[in-house]
Structure 1
Amino acid sequence: MTEMTLKIKQKFSHKFKQGQPLIFKEAIANLDSLKEEGTIVSLEDERGGFLGRGYYGRQNKGYGWMLTQKQKEQIDQEFFERKFAKAWSKRKSFFNNPDTTAFRLVNGEGDGLGGLTIDYFDGFLLLNWYSEGIYCFKDEVIEALERTVDFKGIYEKKRFNTGGKYIDDDDFVTGERGEFPLIIKENGIQFAVYLNEGAMVGVFLDQRDVRRKIRNHYSEGKTVLNTFSYTGAFSVAAALGGARETTSVDLANRSYEKTVEQFAINGIDYEAQKIVVQDVFDYFNYAVKKGLSFDTVVLDPPSFARSKKKTFSAEKDYKDLLKQSIAITEKDGVIVASTNAGKVPMARFKGFIDQAFKETGHKYAILEEFTLPHDFAVDPKFPQGNYLKVVFVRKR
């Protein structure tokens, strides 16, 4: 790997001295010198003081990541071996838990490796590369994993092409090829995952604690509406928790068969549940017209989504989405409000909740809150990496 010096403007140098991992555009004094992604960069302040070492890699968050503040530490295979061994050690409890066989092994900057996440699915690893820069270290990363982590096979997802679309080529990397669907467990719940089918695999691991809470405390005897339901994971959790009925709503045509599959592998009669392929915003209008209401409403939209009729942004539109949810939530019912929008901090998210209830003339009580589970490690110097916000709200 080539290496160059990256000058950090003096007014930002203190952030990197304190351990700020993201190399952001505004901090770079010699921006024009960055040419080839994957270049190792030695960060210096404008007086020549060493700040750290990392790599140049463009992604939506910035221009690369600082990986070490040790001046003599090289970014090579041994570096990755040390990082993976530490990550493995931190997650020993997961490897010894037969009821949960899928979790995050490496969470980007939270484990000192900005731009790369690694998920563990019952012996198989899934690598997510978020820039061409970190992908340049693929050989070193694979070799380091082979030396430090016990796995059956490795798959990958490249998420860095400029069009914002998933690069769909052969996802298999090395080791044993999996047989799909691969059935994993999460707190005893079974989920079918596909590591070889496009950008998403079938379940979002960061919502594990929320699904357990819904199953154990917010489902028994309840009617549960799961909006933006994807493959119905929240609905499965609710059904296993004794829900009287679940309704899963998602615009994607594939959501129906994927949700049927998730119910089936858990021994749940999917015909006793409702699975609706429809724009969620249209479904809200339909529910109001038909006088439908629910005891528990799960509201977990993507941070940005576009349909033929509407564009949704969590930053701009979540409050209005909540107002529509309030309208079809029973008195004393619960809304599970969730967002993965990194630009929306928890305080602002709670502001959306407060505004929505005030504007609809209802009182509310916040019951509990969730952020990322502990396998999704967060760097305290980069709190925006803790992107998940979930608030259980009771409608009074």
Structure 2
Amino acid sequence: MAEIILKKGKEKAALQRHPWIFSGAIETIKNKPENGDVVKVFAFDKEFLAYGYFNGQSRVAIRLIEWDESRNIDEAWYKNRIKQAIASRKAILDKHTTTCRLIFSEADFLPGLIVDQYADFLSVQILSAGIDKVKATIIDVLKDELKPKGIFDKSDAKAREHEGLAIENGLLWGENPPEFLKVKENGISYNINIADGQKSGFYCDQRDNRSILAKYAKGKKVLDCFSYSGGFTLNALSNGAEIVTCVDSSALAIETLNQNVLLNKFDATKIISIQSDVNKQLRAFKETGELFDVIVLDPPKYAPSRSALDRAARAYKDLNRLAMLLLEKGGLLATFSCSGAVDIDTFKQIIAWAALDAGKEVQIIKQFCQPEDHPIRISFPEGEYLKGLLLRVL
């Protein structure tokens, strides 16, 4: 096994169980590891720190996975990690909820591995060279532990490019999922598209927040922006929203949302679905004087890295400013960011700027976060990517 010695003083993060070591922290590499190999990492004084995946072309040169030197990183190690992650989610899955995240990368000590369960199928994202190298082992363990009908590879994220990996999208094992697969979340049914849908096929990280927000929708006129397959829309309708307007730029998302309304036997006259760029549509509503009681903003990741933070802040500010101008006095704005580079304090500051530009007084009445199947390791705060605020706009 190759050995890596860190520069003097660069061992602090590893000692604190943070899983990332950047290329600039490396002093010496012994035995020339290949990308994806497991390596032993030592401090400058030769003290063992951890095992990790090496990648010589990534800015994150080593992703740490194990801090106990006596443990072998073999098939049994992977099986134990995967079983542990699956067992911790058992309380979530029942007859009312048949989808959740089973493995969440660094949070489950498997950096670069995402596994989502969708009824009898699994959607897998492999985002690191280390996990890619043991893909066959991962698939075998998932087959044995969960006995799914099929395992589908959704490794089409740009993150793979940073690891020197090609985009992958296709069947890994078993049956192909149907074009529209029925799952349940909090008793509401969804037809989701794994193969062509966004991310792994569905955003189960908003499960709790959809349920919370639905309580405020009864009898209200709701605008759901970046509505995708209709998570916030369906929950609002289930709790008696007067009417919900949904906006998404994707034709497939709008088609899936409309199917999900029918699937749940909701009144189709209570939904208006619009395929459009959200910012453009918000400006159109402003021109026509359209107002809403509740608005949901759940945009894509505007800041994939800290270098994009300034640009993302401007985008978040403008989006929220437009939404605030479309609310009835005292209306509610549920606004989210899934950008890990934007922490909650920064997000609150952006909202304050948006309120100032909109000429509105705003109260924070609730704070949203990611659910228990997206846990946050205390030593890895970067795992806390989803944050949101429920605002009353006065």
The verdict on a shared fold, with TM-score over 0.5 as the criterion, is yes
* Counterpart among 102, 127, 130 of residue 127 in structure 2: 130
Q: Which residue of 2 aligns with 1:14?
A: 12
Instruction: Tell me the distance in 1 between the aligned counterparts of 2:382 and 2:391.
Output: 23
Pair 317,222 (structure 1): closer, same or farther in 2 beyond 3 Å = same
Pair 230,318 (structure 1): closer, same or farther in 2 beyond 3 Å = same
Q: Which residue of 2 aligns with 1:186?
A: 185
Q: Is 1:156 aligned to 2:164, yes or no? A: no
The alpha carbon displacement at 1:57 in A equals 4.1
Instruction: Tell me the distance in 2 between the aligned counterparts of 1:290 and 1:67.
Output: 55
Q: Which residue of 1 aligns with 2:3?
A: 5
CA deviation map 1:161-220 (0-9, x unaligned): 4299x96655211234433411111000111122222653542010001111122x1110
CA deviation map 1:33-65 (0-9, x unaligned): 866321111111111111000112479872341
Q: Which residue of 1 aligns with 2:194?
A: 195
Q: Is the 8 A contact 2:38 2:130 kept in 1?
A: no
* Counterpart among 92, 108, 111 of residue 111 in structure 1: 108
Letter in 1 for 2:172: V
Compute the RMSD of aligned alpha carbons.
2.6
Q: Is 1:209 aligned to 2:208, yes or no? A: yes
Instruction: Tell me the distance in 1 between the aligned counterparts of 2:29 and 2:347.
Output: 34
Q: Is the 8 A contact 1:368 1:392 kept in 2?
A: yes
Q: Is 1:141 aligned to 2:113, yes or no? A: no
Alignment of 1:304-383 (within 5 A): 304=302, 313-383=311-381
Q: Which moved more, 1:45-54 or 1:138-147?
A: 138-147
Alignment of 1:82-97 (within 5 A): 82-95=80-93, 97=94
Instruction: Tell me the distance in 1 between the aligned counterparts of 2:320 and 2:192.
Output: 30
CA deviation map 1:4-31 (0-9, x unaligned): 1122222220210111112223322347
Letter in 1 for 2:124: L
Q: Which residue of 2 aligns with 1:289?
A: 287
Query: Structure 1 vs Structure 2: percent identity of aligned residues?
Result: 29
CA deviation map 1:120-149 (0-9, x unaligned): 111322111112332111011122223433
Q: Which residue of 1 aligns with 2:228?
A: 230
Instruction: Tell me the distance in 2 between the aligned counterparts of 1:314 and 1:290.
Output: 28
Pair 198,257 (structure 1): closer, same or farther in 2 beyond 3 Å = closer
Q: Is the 8 A contact 1:303 1:339 kept in 2?
A: yes
Q: Is the 8 A contact 1:67 1:112 kept in 2?
A: yes
Long gaps (5+) in structure 1: 306-311
What SS class does the counterpart of residue 93 from structure 1 fall into? coil
Letter in 2 for 1:173: L
What SS class does the counterpart of residue 92 from structure 2 fall into? helix
Q: Which moved more, 1:168-177 or 1:267-276?
A: 168-177
Q: Would you say how many aligned residue pairs link Structure 1 and Structure 2?
A: 387
Instruction: Tell me the distance in 1 between the aligned counterparts of 2:53 and 2:183.
Output: 34
Q: Which residue of 1 aligns with 2:306?
A: none
Q: Which residue of 2 aligns with 1:395?
A: 393
Long gaps (5+) in structure 2: 304-309
Instruction: Tell me the distance in 2 between the aligned counterparts of 1:199 and 1:298.
Output: 19
Q: Which residue of 2 aligns with 1:279?
A: 277
TM-score by length of 1: 0.90
